[in-house]
Amino acid sequence: MIFPYLDDKHTDLTDVNSSDLLKDYVGEIKQLIQKAIDTETLKLQKTVTDKIIRILNFKQLRAELFRDDLELSDSATEREIAQKMVANEVRQALATLIRVTRRQKLMLGNNQNAWALVHADAEAICSWILLNSVDPVWWFHNRIGMEKNQKASLARTLLLDDPEFYEVIISRAVPVAAQYRLTDNKVHSAGGEIDLLVFDAAPDAYQEQLLIALYKKLIGSLPSTYTLAELKEAIVSRVNNEYLNRRSKPVFYFVSQDLMKAYVDCFQQMTDRLKGKVQFVCCERAIGHAKGKASRENQTDLLDQVAILLSLLN
């Protein structure tokens, strides 16, 4: 078969400077990559904006307080408020949210029921705004690798300035709101950390300690009697239900390198039933490391803002 392009005229590479040609191609590729990054960023911003609008429409948070803090006109709509929040730096947007929430707390006085609703909506807005802090360039270069890892393995190792920021990253992947809880004035992700001290090196005893630690984190108190097989089945069932409840966001726990390997080995026969739904994550601090810049802003500062907002409830 004769190729259909033999009659077409093409650039004779002998007549051009190969270095210039390569630069042109590299330039075109960079433009395509930037276009893809911009498209993903706009898509996320639209999602976050729409979520904020929906929350503001519940009318628990007073729009006029946002207009005042953001220096918008009295006629500014909920959409304009949301767009301004999303356009700002995330830390600044959270500062606006905290100031507005504090003002409403003072205005409500002892009306605890109304205050609970206000704070819940403020927390919901915070949970969505946080997604906007993930660096678009970092996300473009890491998203596919994360998705492949999630589908193939129960383990995940990555570099972050603050390990707790992983909740934002994994929420960005779905996307769903990032969820945090406040403990000892610090924010923690839903799963938390498994820090296990092993007292018996015997294989069965070690596996039992692994399963008990995970069971207590995921489900709660142990049943009065159990077998290792029953613990495993209960864990698998709860992981699958939580994965559904969390809108396909994996359950994850921070562990050491040794524990990460141990849990992967422990659930080796159940990997197909668990992969993509639970992750044992080992985070290494990446301060000063280029690969660790998963966010456009300081991760610890952002999470401290979340802690301030959550602490207002009490």
- pLDDT score, position 131: 98
Overall pTM > 0.85: yes
pLDDT at 136: 95
Give the C-alpha separation, 237 to 116, whole Å.
32
Question: pLDDT band at 197, cuts 50/70/90?
Answer: low
Q: Helix, strand, coil proportions of the chain in percent (round to 5)?
A: 60, 10, 30
Weakest-pLDDT range from 63-77, 146-160, 247-261:
146-160
Select the highest-mean-pLDDT range: 20-34, 128-142, 277-291.
Answer: 128-142
Q: What is the mean pLDDT of residues 107-136?
A: 97
175 preceded by a cis bond (ω within 30 of 0):
yes
In this prediction, residues 8-27 reach a mean pLDDT of 65
What is the pLDDT, as a whole number, of residue 145?
87
| Mean of pLDDT over the chain | 90
The answer to whether residue 17 scores a pLDDT higher than 60 is yes
Q: How many CB atoms lie within 10 A of CB 303?
A: 22
Please calculate the CA angle 105-94-278 and round it to the nearest 5 degrees. Answer: 110
- Separation between Cα atoms, residue 274 and residue 253, nearest integer Å: 14
Q: What is the pLDDT of residue 198?
A: 59
For residue 5, the model assigns a pLDDT of 45
Give Cα separations from 45 to 50, 59, 137, 157, 304 (angstroms). Answer: 8, 22, 15, 28, 23
**In angstroms, rounded to a whole number, what is the distance separating the alpha carbons of residues 21 and 75?**
54
HSE at residue 82, side-chain half, CA atoms within 13 A, is 20
pLDDT at 288 over 70: no
CA atoms of 259 and 283, how far apart (whole Å): 12
Q: According to the model, what pLDDT value does residue 203 have?
A: 78
Indicate whether 211 pLDDT > 60.
yes
pLDDT beyond 90 at 218: yes
Residue type, 153: S
**Which is it for the CA torsion 242, 121, 119, 168, positive or negative?**
positive
Residue 24, pLDDT above cutoff 80? no
Average pLDDT on 237-263 reads 94
- List Cβ neighbours of 10 (8 Å cut-off, separation of 6 or more): none
Please give the pLDDT value at position 22. 75
Nearest in space to 48 (alpha carbons), one of 101, 94, 1: 94
In the chain, domain spans? 20-133, 136-294
For the stretch 38-88, pLDDT in tens is 999 999 999 999 999 999 999 999 999 999 999 999 999 999 999 999 999
Residues 138 and 106: their CA atoms lie apart, in Å, by 40
Angle at which helix 257-266 crosses helix 203-218, to 10 degrees, equals 100
Task: Say whether pLDDT at 273 is over 60.
Answer: yes
* Residues in contact with 41: Cβ distance below 8 Å, sequence separation at least 6, in sequence order: 136
Rounded distance, CA 255 to CA 155, Å?
10
Residue 2: pLDDT band (50, 70, 90) is very low
Q: What contacts 309, CB < 8 A, 6 or more positions away?
A: 94, 97, 98, 101, 122, 123, 126
Q: What tokens appear for 150 in the block?
A: 């999630």
Burial tier of 3 (Cβ tally within 10 Å: 0-12, 13-18, 19+) = exposed
What confidence score (pLDDT) does residue 14 get? 56
